[in-house]
Structure 1
């Protein structure tokens, strides 16, 4: 039982730490131009024009994992974590 409680506490701490990091992420804040805590497609497209090599709409749709039309702070943090793990 003690191990279960310790594991739950550790998981909760990791989730809270990830959310706090995303909340203060300057990259997220740069894209969230209306400061509503979400990145819309127009906000993303304005800062990520098509380079011909990568399709910004496809990237946006891949990051928007819950398919609500916005990238939230958790989705953004997860995208950065996956990107950093590839390096």
Structure 2
């Protein structure tokens, strides 16, 4: 089982968390001026790399905090956990 370290609560099993997908994505807008193909790209065509990916997670069964982490999509190793608004770490 994957252990995720919540910035508030510490290490907890992954069953306490929900993944919100890739983080640091800029939402297009304003809504009325964005073409349908741009919205489709924003909603459905996110990166799915083999390797490290920045993701947002929520501690759903705990404090409810949203935070970011860097996870390897192959090994599931988490190399960084950081709060929303903190600078994003570089990915090698």
> TM-score normalised to the size of structure 2?
0.23
Q: Between Structure 1 and Structure 2, which shows a larger proportion of helix residues?
A: 1
Q: Between Structure 1 and Structure 2, which shows a larger proportion of strand residues?
A: 2
| Structure (1 or 2) with the larger CA radius of gyration | 1
> TM-score normalised to the size of structure 1?
0.24
